[in-house]
Chain A
Amino acid sequence: MVNQLEIRNLHARIVDGETILNGVNLVLPKGQVHAIMGPNGAGKSTLGKIIAGDPSYEITKGDILMDGESILEMEADERARKGLFLAFQYPVEVPGVSNANFLRLALQAKKGGEVNLTEFYSKLQKALETLEWDESILTRYLNDGFSGGEKKRNEIMHMMVLEPTYAIMDETDSGLDIDALKVVAKGVNAMRGPNFGALLITHYQRLLNYIVPDMVHVMIDGRIVTSGGPELAMKLEEQGYEWVKELAVSN
């Protein structure tokens, strides 16, 4: 079995609409953390949502394989139960549903049965501790009235409790102050290990100071135009995206 998340020549568009992805190729081996950077409108967030199974997009060509198995025909929930996780750029508010209850339902769905309460709470406790958070967040309604920072931190808490094999973090750093950013990075770093792979989608190099990626990919106009080590992120930070755009055109 191939232990990797593979995006193979992926073309996709909004259902009956604009084309966003124009042949994305990317391999994320399990155990690694990769960053996808790129200017606004490059298709980074769309790629994240498509991997997670957002039905508002349709795939016109290519494939997505998780550990060698195509997940294209799977609904979002089935992908999640197989070990995929998307930390949303804009986590959705669900009034009336408590954060902890929801998380327990999600964990039960993933495990395919009842989850022991003690075990569940110890997972929660551990996540809260890492994220330097108190229990009051558990009884609040899911993202309802959360600040931007709380929402992002909550996504990381969900990830820590659900323990996915592959996580995609869609601009988890945007809108966070430096202290919050450090805490979120702590959460992601706590997950790192041989059984966890992550794709960090970000505009800025800043996050990568705290979560050092194994690889950086640059996306422009719905394609990965260049890839490299962490130093590529530094170069983008210093020189901007112009040179990569030229690269995209010359390709």
Chain B
Amino acid sequence: MSDNILIEDIGNEYKYGFVDEVKPVWKAEKGLNRRVVEAISYHKDEPAWMLEFRLKALEIYQSKPVPTWGADLSGLNMDEIYFYAKPTEKRDARSWDEVPEEIRRTYEKLGIPEAERKVLAGVGAQYDSEMVYHQVKEELQRLGVIFVSIEEGLKHHEDLFREYFATVIPPEDNKYAALNSAVWSGGSFVYVPKGVKVELPLQAYFRVNTAELGQFERTIIVVDEGAEVHYIEGCTAPTYTTDSFHSGVIEIVVNQGAKSRYTTIQNWSHNMYNLVTQRALVKKDAYHMWLDGNLGSKVTMKYPSSYLVEEGARSDILSIAFANTGQHQDAGGKLIFAASHTGGSIVSKSISKGSGRSSYRGLIKVYEGAKHVKVNVECDALLINEESRTDTYPYMEIEDDTATVGHEATVSRLNDEQIFYLQSRGLPEDEAAALIVRGFIEPVAKELPLEYAVELNRLIELEMEGSVG
């Protein structure tokens, strides 16, 4: 979707690392405390119940230890993080002309307005802590589709908001879900009414510009009976020497017979800690797909989950992780089967390059009494260099013996014979290696809309430069 930037920056390792000369109009003090949470709530002019919810969540966050079972989080210093930075006074501009020029230019560089015109049904753009732009095609608005910032969702659709907010992922779920619940800011509120099929994807784009900022997007997507939607999120940030932090919470409810898809192309700069909780509740005969692409960040811990809670529900989780030197991608997925005749799959493809490390961490749980569940897990790891690392942590808790469970895992190394074969047809070594990697992720990448598949391939080519020899 953004050929121009991609081509002119080929050769630079990370091409979205530029810094904008934008100073937030307001920024919280560094670190996290009650005052900061109150200030966020004040700046959002929230109802009292929400402030109460936030403060309760802060207590939960403070009571939970930093998890040590996954990636190394010891470098993440909460005292050095800003928990809120307001980029502009105007939220949810309806036209790009109303977005401050400096910020608008960034999204233009990222190709967002162009993609909006060509291939998307709606766009939301978050800059630091707030959604600066949100728009959805008029015909969809007329059909009752809601696609606004989470703040506007609370303000203008409070009943609907309260019906779903924190019901799929309560603050108690994990330490970072609690943190997000305390300081959430930005994200989308999406409601697709019964029977409405949104043909083109909705996209949310997340940009962190302020150094040492934490971004805590909160998204709720409700797909009502028989409706369909595809939501895509993309993310980038400048490359700073200090670390930044992104911790989102995404709650999705897929009602009877509905179909939804949530695609992430995560390309944060390599100084980002990315700890995200994403969960979908999938009801009778409904379907949900997670397509999770993690290429950027320093540390990612992210395991999109689907809870199949009524008969006939299905869900697939497709995951791609690329860990370059200095990165740890701890990714995977969870499928929880709590009803009969449900099914799903997890397909994970990870690539580790240089001293990069990727881990597959997954859970399959079939509750007793959930009859005739069918599930399949396939995780494949590709190692590019000698020092590259991969680990697999597949957890299975199968309580019902009528379940059919398949599991396959492979680890392979970039193959010299393949490289020579492709080289002997004229492709330079780096391109040959990149092509092999593209082939490796193809089973997942082919599920992406064309523009995103092209972008993913280009990102992989950039990451693969200078990879061999």
Contacts and interface: CB of A to CB of B under 8 A. Distances in A.
A97 B435 CA distance: 7
A95 B439 contact: yes
A79 B426 CA distance: 8
A220 to B, nearest CB: 26
Interface string B429-469: 10110011011111100000000000000000000000000
B346 to A, nearest CB: 18
A150 interface: no
A102 B423 contact: no
Contact of B435 (A85, A94, A162): A94
Q: Which 8 A-B pairs have the closest CB atoms?
A: A96-B439, A96-B442, A97-B439, A92-B421, A109-B426, A80-B426, A76-B423, A106-B425
Nearest to B440: A96
Interface string A69-89: 000000111011100011010
B418 interface: yes
Interface of A: 52-56, 75-77, 79-81, 85-86, 88, 91-97, 102-103, 105-107, 109-110, 141-142, 158, 162
B444 to A, nearest CB: 10
B435 A77 contact: no
Interface string B347-366: 00000000000000000000
B422 interface: yes
Nearest to A161: B425
Interface of B: 415-418, 420-429, 431-432, 435-436, 438-443
Contacts of B431: 105, 109
Given A96-B439, A97-B439, A75 B418 contact: no
A53 B423 contact: yes
A10 to B, nearest CB: 18
Contacts of B415: 92
B439 A141 contact: yes
Contacts of B420: 53-56, 76, 92
A107 B426 CA distance: 8
Given A56-B416, A81-B426, A109-B431, A91 B439 contact: no
Given A76-B420, A77-B432, A109 B427 contact: yes
A103 B426 CA distance: 10
27 contacts: A52-B424, A53-B423, A55-B420, A56-B416, A75-B429, A76-B420, A76-B424, A80-B424, A80-B426, A81-B426, A85-B424, A86-B424, A88-B424, A92-B420, A93-B418, A94-B418, A94-B422, A94-B436, A96-B440, A96-B443, A97-B442, A105-B431, A105-B435, A106-B427, A109-B426, A141-B439, A162-B426
Contacts of A109: 425-428, 431
A110 B421 contact: no
A97 B421 contact: no
Contacts of A76: 420, 423-424
Contacts of B428: 75, 77, 109
A110 B439 contact: no
B438 A106 contact: no
B412 to A, nearest CB: 10
Contacts of A103: 425
Contacts of A55: 416, 420
A53 B424 CA distance: 8
A77 B418 contact: no
Nearest to B425: A106
